[in-house]
Chains A and B, each alone.
Chain A
Amino acid sequence: MSDRLAGKSIVVTGGESGIGRAIVLRCLDEGASVVIAGIDETQMAKTVDACKAAGADERVLGVPTDVTQAADVQTAIDTAVQQFGRLDVAIANAGVFCEKTAFGDWNIKDWERMIAVNLTGVFYVLHAAAKVLIEQGDGGNLMATGSSTAIRPISGHMPYVASKGGVHNMLRGLAVELAPHQIKVNTIVPGMAATTPVTSQQGYVEAGLKSVPMNEIVEPDELAAFVAFVLSDEAPHMTGTLLKVDAGRTSA
């Protein structure tokens, strides 16, 4: 693997599993230093071990982080700056999915929880990271994981769909606002990706694939490869772009 990302300091929330984990492994593989900010400490320890086994050595560490707590997020960002000397990239990837529930059956607490993690949590990450990037004064990259359902919603998951719609438009707005600082802001858009929250729901994949033209599930590694391209500086004017790998789901 190349060393395109050598010297870059990256924070990935939700980096202990799924798409976040794939991004962490790929970035480390290309030479970056990574803080995994995760809420599942057992899984995070396993992922850190896997990274070290793959040769990451001192370039990876885990920081227990609940993205609904701004102080936790601040600690994760501060840790990257302290350990690696600066911050180049923050990827607000942590998010939760939900069981299929009719709109009328949602309770307010579940709605509030979804928005707290998936939308306000992304705001905390980008807000804390943008402050550092602007202060450093030499640009950087912000990303968040959105969803193909922000473009083409699915029934029975309204709080999730709403939270991801918020993420998409927040990042579009930030791409414009932060452009004068040379901070690029792009959204990762997975179609139906092979992660536990998706594959663990009975019948969800089978039903979902009916609306996917390629009729296949997307692998987290594919999204990680796209992220690595964007971070490589090969396309310094790429901002406000949807990094979409969805097997055609949102085209149909």
Chain B
Amino acid sequence: MGHYDLSSKTVLVTGAEVGIGRAIALRALADGANVAIAGINPEMRDETMALVRDAGFADRFVALSANIRDAGQVQKMVDDTVAKFGHLDAAIANAGVMVVRRPFLELTHEEWHNVIAVNLHGTFHTLQAATRVLKAQGLGGDLFVTTSSNAVRPSPMASAYVASKGAIQQMVRALAVELAPDGIRVNSIIPGLTLTPGTTSREGHIERGKRNIPMGEVTMPEELAALVAFALSGEAPHMTGTDLKIDGGRTSA
């Protein structure tokens, strides 16, 4: 069990069948929230569902299938969440893709469009559909976006990814200002190099990345999930436009 009281809150997390999203979902469940996850990977989704069942949280949980590239699927994902739990308190636009390392001149237009379609358009779809519900409810709420320490300190050979994360980082800032009068807080989650299947499956990625981390260690998904639980707890009701950053000092160096 966690430390924060999230009971009665309904939290939607995209890209939550694995990695940071899964950790956020499990922590929110442990702290008492209703949780809807959405993703595109059925095997990993089943694995997450099994974890949720084993932890005894199945009655407060729903797993949805949604590709965030498609605004229609995103709308359905939000509608299904509200239909299941009756309301929405928080949406965490976490789904995103990484890319193979590629020099700028070798980056194809197809790769560029693919990254932008998921990381930027997909995040936009998610935030817009969730904001519609939060504004209609009229009770405020929380939006989060998983960006990247690359939005602050770019890595080479990843220009499309870096551009997409920089864009959503700035979108968070803009929405924090625009939605403040509605009591909707908007914060970014900034992972440094984090231990997820996405990073560990890439040859040499962890070893290479660690060299730029002053603490010399990777961030664990559970750390970011704990920070999100704090932000959702209502203990800091005026926290908006804040970078929830856990990066072992990467962006400070």
Task: Tell me the A residues contacting B by CB distance below 8 Å.
Answer: 2, 4, 172-173, 175-177, 179-180, 182, 191, 213-216, 218-219, 221-223, 225-226, 229, 232, 234-242, 244-248, 250-252
Task: Identify A251's interface contact among B241, B252, B253, CB under 8 A.
Answer: B241
Task: Identify B214's interface contact among A179, A191, A214, CB under 8 A.
Answer: A179
* Chain A hits for B223, CB < 8 A: 234-238
B246 shortest CB reach to chain A, Å = 4
A186 shortest CB reach to chain B, Å = 10
Q: CB distance A214 to B216 under 8 Å?
A: no
Q: CB distance B214 to A248 under 8 Å?
A: no
Check if B62 is an interface residue, CB within 8 A of chain A.
no
Check if B139 is an interface residue, CB within 8 A of chain A.
no
Q: CB distance B240 to A214 under 8 Å?
A: yes
A81 shortest CB reach to chain B, Å = 25
* Chain B hits for A221, CB < 8 A: 235
Q: How far is the CA of A176 from the CA of B247 in the complex (A)?
A: 11
Q: CB distance B240 to A247 under 8 Å?
A: yes
Chain B, interface size: which category? Answer: 35 or more
| Dominant secondary structure of chain A at its interface with chain B | loop
Interface string of B163-201 (1 = CB under 8 A from A): 000000000011011001101000000001000000000
- 13 sampled A-B residue pairs with Cβ under 8 A: A182-B215, A213-B176, A213-B180, A222-B237, A222-B239, A226-B235, A237-B217, A238-B227, A240-B214, A245-B236, A245-B239, A247-B240, A248-B241
Check if B219 is an interface residue, CB within 8 A of chain A.
yes
Task: Known contacts A237-B220, A240-B252, A251-B173; decide if A226 and B238 are in contact (CB<8 Å).
Answer: no
Task: Known contacts A226-B230, A234-B226, A237-B215; decide if A246 and B246 are in contact (CB<8 Å).
Answer: no
Task: Identify A215's interface contact among B174, B181, B215, B242, CB under 8 A.
Answer: B181
Q: How far is the CA of A152 from the CA of B245 in the complex (A)?
A: 20
User: Which of B174, B223, B243: most chain A Cβ within 10 A?
Assistant: B223
* Chain A hits for B180, CB < 8 A: 213-215, 247-248
Task: Known contacts A234-B226, A239-B252; decide if A248 and B177 are in contact (CB<8 Å).
Answer: yes
Q: How far is the CA of A180 from the CA of B216 in the complex (A)?
A: 7
B26 shortest CB reach to chain A, Å = 14
A194 shortest CB reach to chain B, Å = 10
Q: CB distance A222 to B240 under 8 Å?
A: no
Q: How far is the CA of A236 from the CA of B238 in the complex (A)?
A: 24
* Chain A hits for B32, CB < 8 A: none
Which residues in window 15-57 of B have CB below 8 A to A? none
Q: CB distance A238 to B246 under 8 Å?
A: yes
Q: CB distance A176 to B230 under 8 Å?
A: no
Q: CB distance B177 to A239 under 8 Å?
A: no
Task: Identify A172's interface contact among B181, B237, B248, B252, CB under 8 A.
Answer: B252
Q: CB distance A235 to B246 under 8 Å?
A: yes
* Chain B hits for A244, CB < 8 A: 239, 241-243
Q: How far is the CA of A239 from the CA of B230 in the complex (A)?
A: 17
Check if B251 is an interface residue, CB within 8 A of chain A.
yes
Q: CB distance A2 to B3 under 8 Å?
A: yes
Q: CB distance B214 to A213 under 8 Å?
A: no
